[in-house]
C-alpha cells in the first residue's frame, strides 16, 4: 500500500452514483464513475403550480402496486423540494421555460413534475454539480481504479473492506468505522440491459456474502423502450419521449397500447413492457416501433439532443423515422434491506440508492423517482453514519497522538465499485468497460436469466433456471480479478433473483407469473427476505 494512502479511515463510501456522492458530501467527501450520468429522463418533485406533494405520494404508492413502504414514500416526496433546491444552489442547471423550471410528464405520473437538464442529460448535469460540490471539500481521500472484493468483519460489525487495485493487480485492506455500499444496480445479470457495464450488482453480492439480509430481489424493472437494432447496444430511449407525445406501434403500424391500458403509452412501465412483449409474440417479431414523428423536428432535436445524436449515429432520425425498440432490464427495486437511515442488518454497514431496498419503489418504480431516492436516502445514510460512529470517532481522536494540537481528521476513503478507465472526478462522463472479453459462462448466465427469469415468468422455467445456474462451475476466485469477481457476483445474484421469483407465487408490479397471474394479498402483500444459508421468507 502506498505510503500516502491511509489503511484506517472514519468512513468508506463504495460507489459513485448520486446516492454515493450525496452520502459522501454529507460526510465531507466525493466519489467517481457511475450509472447516474446515464440517466436521461429526469428527477421528480412536486414543485410546479399544478402539483401537490400528496399527488406525488399517491402516484408513487399506486405504481408500487401495494408493496411500497409508506413511511419511505412520505419521506421521499416531502423532502424532494428541499433537495431539488439544494441541487440548484450547488449549481445544477435544470431546463427552464422563461424564468420558471420546466416540467415534463412520464408514465404513471398524474402531473407534469419531471425536471430535466440539457433536454435528456439530467443525470450528467446532476453528476457535474455533485462532483463540483464534493471536490470543493478538503478532507478526502479518493481511491480510483479500485474494485471492492469483500467486506471485513471485526468485533461483530463491518469494520472495513478488501479491494483490488487494478493498476497494480494487488489486494489491499482498509478499515473504517462505517461502510456505505452505493454500487448501483444489477442489470448486467440479464442479456438485454440499458445499464452500463459496471452494473453487476457487486455491492448486493458482497453484502449477502457477509450475511446481510436482501429484500425484494424478484422485482426487476424492464424499461419498455430500448433501441433494438442490429449492431447497436440496447440504448435507453427515455420514457420522456412518450411523455412528450411519442406513441408505440407494432410492425403492422397499429397503435396498440390502448388495448392494454387506458393510459396508453403512459401506463406503468411493467404494463407497457408486457404489452410490447405480447405484441412481439402476436406479430412474430422481436421489436415494435416508437413513433415520434408527430412532433416538429426542431423540437425533438432540442428536447432530446443526446437521444437524437445517438440514434443518428446508427442511421436513425427519431424525428422522421420509426425507431425499433424492445424491453431491457433497467432497474432493481430490491437490494440490501435498510431502514429509513440506510442501516442494514449488519452493524457498521449502510446502503443507499439502487443497491438498497428501502421499500420506496415497492413492486414497480415510478419513473424518475430513482435520482430523487439517491439524493434523499444518500444524505440520510451519510448523516446516520456520522451519528452512529460519533463516540468511536471521539475515542479514536483522543487516543491518536498524531492529532494533538489540531482537529481530528474526518476522512473518508472513497472507493469506486470498478473504475478501469476512471478519470477521477474531473470527468464523470467516462465509464469503465469490462476487463477483457466476456466469459462464456457469464453469457450463459445472462441468457438463462433473460429467457427464464425475465418479463414473463412461470414456476417451471424458474425452477429450471435455478437448476441450470446451480450446475455452472463458478468458484470463488482465490486470486481475484475484476472479471472473476464480477462473474462470481453475477451468478450469486442470478440465483437469488430466481429463488425469490419462484417463492412469490403471485403477480405484482414488475413480477409477472403466468401460472399465478393475480395478486395474492393474503400471502404475498409482504416483502421477500433472503439471507445467506436461509430460504426465502416474507414479512
DSSP labels, 37-80: GG--S-EE-S-STT--HHHHHHHHHHHTTT---HHHHHHHHHHH
**Domain assignment of residue 19, yes or no:** no
- CA 523 to chain CA centroid, Å, is 28
Q: What pLDDT is attached to residue 10?
A: 87
User: Of all helices (H) and strands (E), which one includes residue 281?
Assistant: helix 269-283
The CATH number given to whatever domain includes residue 268 is 3.90.700.10
**Domain assignment of residue 14, yes or no:** no
Q: What pLDDT is attached to residue 137?
A: 75
The predicted model gives 47-70 an average pLDDT of 93
- The string of pLDDT tens digits covering residues 414-470 is 454 533 223 233 333 333 334 345 689 999 999 999 999 999 999 999 999 999 999
The CATH number given to whatever domain includes residue 479 is 1.20.58.100
3-state secondary structure of 126: helix
* The three cell numbers locating residue 364: 414497480
- Please check whether residue 175 is in contact with residue 12, taking contact to mean a CB–CB distance below 8 angstroms: no
**Domain assignment of residue 417, yes or no:** no
Range of the domain at 524: 440-532
Q: What pLDDT is attached to residue 410?
A: 40
Please give the DSSP secondary-structure letter assigned to residue 314. Answer: T
> In 368-439, which residue ranges form alpha helices assigned H by DSSP?
370-399
Interior CA angle at 49 toward 47 and 53, to 5°?
45
Q: CA-CA distance, 527 to 336, in Å (whole number)?
A: 12
- The string of pLDDT tens digits covering residues 223-252 is 999 999 988 888 889 888 998 999 999 999
Q: What pLDDT is attached to residue 269?
A: 83
Strands (E), 333-433: 335-337, 349-351, 356-357, 412-415
Please give the DSSP secondary-structure letter assigned to residue 220. Answer: E
**pLDDT greater at residue 37 or residue 386:** 386
- The tally of CA atoms less than 13 A away on the side-chain side of residue 18 is 29
According to DSSP, the residues that pair with 426 across neighbouring strands are none
> Who's near 451: CB < 8 A, 6+ residues apart?
461, 465
The predicted model gives 171-179 an average pLDDT of 94
The yes-or-no answer on residue 269 being catalytic is yes
Please give the DSSP secondary-structure letter assigned to residue 2. Answer: -
* The three cell numbers locating residue 141: 481521500
- The string of pLDDT tens digits covering residues 110-145 is 888 888 888 777 878 888 888 888 778 777 666 778
**Domain assignment of residue 499, yes or no:** yes
Domain count, the chain: 2
Q: What percent of the chain has pLDDT over 90?
A: 64
Last residue of a domain, one of 312, 328, 344: 328
**Domain assignment of residue 375, yes or no:** no
* The three cell numbers locating residue 279: 405484441
What are the CB-based long-range contacts (under 8 Å, 24+) for 228-235?
A: 228/286, 228/287, 228/324, 228/325, 228/326, 229/314, 229/316, 229/324, 231/314, 232/314, 234/192, 234/193, 234/194, 234/326, 234/328, 235/194, 235/307, 235/310, 235/311
> Who's near 513: CB < 8 A, 6+ residues apart?
457, 458, 459, 501, 504, 505, 506, 507
Q: CA-CA distance, 24 to 425, in Å (whole number)?
A: 13
**Dihedral of alpha carbons 315, 318, 323, 328, sign:** positive
> Who's near 216: CB < 8 A, 6+ residues apart?
67, 333, 334, 335, 357, 359, 363, 500, 527, 528
Last residue of a domain, one of 328, 349, 371: 328
CB atoms within 10 A of CB 317: 15
**Domain assignment of residue 250, yes or no:** yes
**Domain assignment of residue 247, yes or no:** yes
- Please check whether residue 161 is in contact with residue 209, taking contact to mean a CB–CB distance below 8 angstroms: no
Catalytic residue among 22, 133, 191, 269: 269
Q: What pLDDT is attached to residue 391?
A: 67
**Domain assignment of residue 503, yes or no:** yes
Buried b (16+ CB within 10 A) or exposed e, 384-398: bbbebbeeebeebbe
The answer, yes or no, to whether residue 500 has pLDDT greater than 90, is yes
- Please check whether residue 205 is in contact with residue 55, taking contact to mean a CB–CB distance below 8 angstroms: no
Q: CA-CA distance, 13 to 30, in Å (whole number)?
A: 9
The predicted model gives 206-232 an average pLDDT of 95
Q: CA-CA distance, 453 to 470, in Å (whole number)?
A: 15
Last residue of a domain, one of 328, 353, 373: 328
3-state secondary structure of 331: strand
What is the Rg, in whole angstroms, of the alpha carbon atoms belonging to the chain?
22
Q: Which pTM was predicted?
A: 0.87
Amino acid at each position: 500500500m502506498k505510503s500516502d494512502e491511509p489503511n484506517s479511515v472514519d468512513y468508506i463510501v463504495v460507489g459513485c452514483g448520486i446516492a454515493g456522492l450525496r452520502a459522501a458530501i454529507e460526510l465531507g467527501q466525493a466519489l467517481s464513475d457511475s450509472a447516474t450520468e446515464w440517466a436521461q429522463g429526469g428527477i421528480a418533485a412536486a414543485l410546479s403550480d399544478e402539483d401537490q406533494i400528496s399527488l406525488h405520494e399517491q402516484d408513487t404508492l399506486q405504481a408500487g402496486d401495494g408493496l411500497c413502504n409508506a413511511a419511505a414514500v412520505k419521506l421521499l416526496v416531502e423532502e424532494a423540494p428541499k433537495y431539488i433546491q439544494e441541487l440548484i444552489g450547488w449549481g445544477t442547471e435544470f431546463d427552464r421555460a422563461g424564468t420558471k423550471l420546466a416540467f415534463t410528464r412520464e408514465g404513471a405520473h398524474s402531473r407534469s413534475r419531471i425536471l430535466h437538464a440539457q433536454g435528456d442529460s439530467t443525470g450528467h448535469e446532476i453528476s457535474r454539480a455533485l462532483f463540483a460540490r464534493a471536490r470543493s471539500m478538503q478532507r478526502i481521500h479518493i481511491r480510483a481504479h479500485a474494485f471492492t472484493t469483500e467486506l471485513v468483519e471485526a468485533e461483530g460489525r463491518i469494520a472495513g473492506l478488501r479491494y483490488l487495485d487494478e493498476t497494480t493487480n494487488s489486494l489491499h485492506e482498509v478499515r473504517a468505522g462505517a461502510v456505505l455500499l452505493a454500487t448501483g444496480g444489477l442489470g448486467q445479470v440479464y442479456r438485454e440491459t440499458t445499464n452500463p457495464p459496471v452494473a453487476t450488482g457487486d455491492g448486493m453480492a458482497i453484502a449477502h456474502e457477509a450475511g446481510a439480509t436482501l429484500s425484494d430481489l424478484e422485482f426487476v424493472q424492464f424499461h419498455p423502450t430500448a433501441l433494438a437494432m442490429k449492431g447497436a447496444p440496447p440504448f435507453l430511449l427515455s420514457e420522456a419521449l412518450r411523455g412528450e407525445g411519442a406513441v408505440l406501434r407494432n410492425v403492422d403500424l397499429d397503435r396498440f397500447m390502448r388495448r392494454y391500458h387506458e393510459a396508453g403509452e403512459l401506463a406503468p412501465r411493467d404494463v407497457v413492457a408486457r404489452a410490447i412483449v405480447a405484441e412481439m409474440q402476436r406479430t412474430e417479431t422481436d421489436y415494435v416501433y416508437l413513433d415520434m414523428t408527430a412532433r416538429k423536428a426542431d423540437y425533438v432535436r432540442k428536447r432530446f439532443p443526446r437521444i437524437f445524436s445517438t440514434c443518428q449515429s446508427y442511421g436513425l432520425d427519431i424525428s422522421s423515422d420509426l425507431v425499433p425498440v424492445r424491453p431491457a432490464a433497467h432497474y432493481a427495486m430490491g437490494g440490501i434491506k435498510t431502514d429509513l437511515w440506510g442501516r442494514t442488518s449488519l452493524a457498521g454497514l449502510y446502503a443507499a440508492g439502487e443497491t438498497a431496498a428501502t421499500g420506496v419503489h415497492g413492486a414497480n418504480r415510478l419513473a424518475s423517482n430513482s435520482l430523487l431516492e439517491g439524493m434523499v436516502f444518500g444524505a440520510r445514510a451519510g448523516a446516520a453514519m456520522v451519528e452512529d460512529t460519533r463516540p468511536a470517532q471521539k475515542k479514536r481522536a483522543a487516543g491518536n497522538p498524531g492529532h494533538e494540537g489540531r482537529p481530528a481528521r474526518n476522512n473518508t476513503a472513497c472507493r469506486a465499485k470498478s473504475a478501469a478507465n476512471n478519470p477521477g472526478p474531473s470527468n464523470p462522463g467516462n465509464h469503465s468497460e469490462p476487463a477483457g472479453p466476456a466469459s462464456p459462462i457469464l453469457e450463459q448466465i445472462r441468457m438463462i436469466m433473460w429467457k427464464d427469469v425475465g418479463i414473463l415468468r412461470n414456476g417451471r422455467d424458474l425452477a429450471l433456471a435455478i437448476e441450470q445456474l446451480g450446475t455452472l462451475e463458478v468458484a470463488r476466485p482465490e486470486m481475484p480479478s475484476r472479471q472473476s469477481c464480477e462473474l462470481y457476483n453475477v451468478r450469486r445474484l442470478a440465483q437469488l433473483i430466481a429463488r425469490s421469483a419462484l417463492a412469490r407465487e403471485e403477480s405484482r408490479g414488475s413480477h409477472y407469473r403466468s401460472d399465478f397471474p393475480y395478486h395474492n394479498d393474503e400471502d404475498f402483500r409482504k416483502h421477500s427476505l433472503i439471507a445467506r444459508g436461509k430460504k426465502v421468507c416474507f414479512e
